[in-house]
Structure 1
Amino acid sequence: MGDKKKNFIKLVSAAGTGYFYLQRKNPARIPTKLEFRKYDPWGNHHVLFTEAKMK
């Protein structure tokens, strides 16, 4: 019910494979850009995923 302020963000692979994850983020609680080390199935290894704007 309180999800009105959360926005979807796109986490894009730094490996350049084009793979991405979608995640929800509350910009009021987390003002900085997110970075995660996650699995990239197209590159077949863990890489850094950084926040990018949704188009």
Structure 2
Amino acid sequence: MGKKEKSYIFIRLLSAAGTGFFYVKRKTKKSPKFTEKLEFRKYDPRVNRHVLFTEAKMK
């Protein structure tokens, strides 16, 4: 028996403020939004405010 392929991948949400702060989030492969890049407004503690976080590749 082979291993089951994971139905999700991990992505990095990088701060648009340029602080280098990031969040890691799971994203499903089967979702219709898989081709779109995710963007969220989340809290960046290095600038003490909510900023835009955009999807970037995991290193």
Normalising by structure 1, report the TM-score. Answer: 0.89
RMSD: 1.3
Once residues 28 and 53 of structure 1 are traced to their aligned partners in structure 2, the CA distance between those partners, rounded to angstroms, is: 18
Give unpaired runs (5+ residues) of structure 2: none
Number of matched pairs? 53
Amino acid aligned to 1:51 = E
The runs of 4+ residues in structure 1 deviating greater than 4 Å are none
Offset at residue 23 of structure 1 (A): 0.2
Q: What is the aligned-residue identity percentage?
A: 64
Offset at residue 28 of structure 1 (A): 2.2
The structure whose Rg is larger is 2
Match of 1:33 in 2: 37
Normalising by structure 2, report the TM-score. Answer: 0.83
